[in-house]
């Protein structure tokens, strides 16, 4: 059995992975509340995969209501070693056309109504987000998307907005001026929490539309996004299969696996037991939580 356990977070349009063998849904409780849905656990060529539909099956949870902390914690509790997030995004640049895929490498976080950290009152930690995705996982995911037949951009900056409303034209043009390439509502704080949980993370964005910055074009509407999601979904499922099959037999250690070694700032004598207990999965390696 491989020492990889791949977590897959499926965004809009991706609610199931048909390629999983011996697949079964598992309910997971976390100290942070309930995750978006049960986890679908199975194997692809001997590699354990744990799938979570981010918005729940049927897409009944909005972006601001997602319990990001519970989602990442639940994956960690199931032994996940690495996470690939597959997300619908709007494009802020001409070259990233609807139907293209983007291997995101940077983020701008404009969300404001979400819990963004596992740490705080009781244990304080500051993880680096200078390089917010795992480069080896991103490269493998990008190659898998190509093998699945997608047009893939090897880098891109993702602007995370709060939502659930789409941007105004002024906002869309402002984000373009900031250097953002794609826009979405769910990558933050997901990527930050994955880093705090010492889980290498990569995000593949599936472009559904051009947002609303283009002149003389009808602004984005949900109907058009749903149509493009349907076209992207089969490619996304194939991407996961190609990615898993391309993973080397042995998982080499990543620096992200031990990022908390240099992130904790609170003196152990000041730890608060209540928070220590909640951090058993996320940070038990360094805190010795039971």
d(CA 16, CA 51): 8
- Contact status, residue 28 vs residue 76, Cβ threshold 8 Å: no
Catalytic residue status for 18: no
CA 239 to centroid of chain Cα atoms: 15
Given 211, 261, 267, 290, which residue is catalytic?
A: 211
Nearest to residue 72, comparing CAs of 129, 110, 13, 116? 116
- Contact status, residue 149 vs residue 192, Cβ threshold 8 Å: no
At 13 the three-state DSSP class reads coil
- Residue 7 burial class via C-beta count within 10 angstroms: exposed 0-12, middle 13-18, buried 19 and up: buried
d(CA 94, CA 221): 18
Given 209, 261, 267, 280, which residue is catalytic?
A: 209
Q: Which residues pair with 109 in a beta bridge?
A: 160
Whether cis (ω within 30° of 0) applies to the bond prior to 164 is yes
Give the number of other CB atoms < 10 A from CB of residue 22.
Answer: 7
Catalytic residue status for 154: no
d(CA 202, CA 256): 12
Catalytic residues: 209, 211
């Amino acid at each position: 059995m491989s020492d990889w356990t791949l977590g897959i977070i499926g965004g809009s349009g991706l609610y199931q992975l048909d390629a999983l063998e011996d697949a079964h849904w598992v309910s997971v409780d976390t100290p942070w509340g309930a995750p978006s849905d049960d986890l679908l656990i199975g194997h692809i060529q001997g590699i354990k995969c744990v799938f979570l539909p981010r918005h729940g099956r049927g897409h009944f949870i909005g972006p601001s209501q997602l319990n990001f902390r519970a989602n990442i914690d639940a994956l960690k509790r199931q032994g996940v070693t690495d996470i690939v997030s597959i997300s619908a995004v709007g494009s802020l640049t001409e070259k990233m056309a609807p139907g293209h895929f983007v291997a995101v490498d940077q983020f701008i976080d404009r969300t404001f109504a979400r819990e963004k950290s596992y740490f705080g009152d009781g244990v304080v930690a500051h993880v680096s987000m200078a390089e917010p995705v795992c480069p080896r996982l991103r490269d493998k995911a990008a190659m898998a998307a190509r093998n699945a037949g997608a047009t893939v951009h090897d880098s891109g900056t993702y602007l995370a907005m709060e939502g659930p409303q789409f941007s105004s034209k002024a906002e869309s043009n402002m984000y373009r001026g900031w250097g953002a390439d794609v826009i979405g509502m769910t990558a933050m704080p997901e990527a930050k929490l994955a880093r705090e949980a010492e889980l290498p993370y990569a995000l593949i964005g599936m472009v559904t539309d051009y947002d609303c910055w283009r002149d003389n074009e009808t602004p984005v509407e949900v109907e058009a996004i749903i149509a493009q999601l349907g076209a992207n979904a089969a490619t996304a499922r194939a991407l996961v299969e190609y990615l898993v099959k391309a993973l080397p037999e042995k998982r080499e250690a990543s620096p992200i696996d031990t990022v908390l070694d240099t992130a904790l700032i609170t003196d152990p004598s000041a730890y608060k037991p209540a928070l220590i207990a909640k951090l058993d999965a996320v940070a038990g390696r360094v805190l010795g939580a039971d």
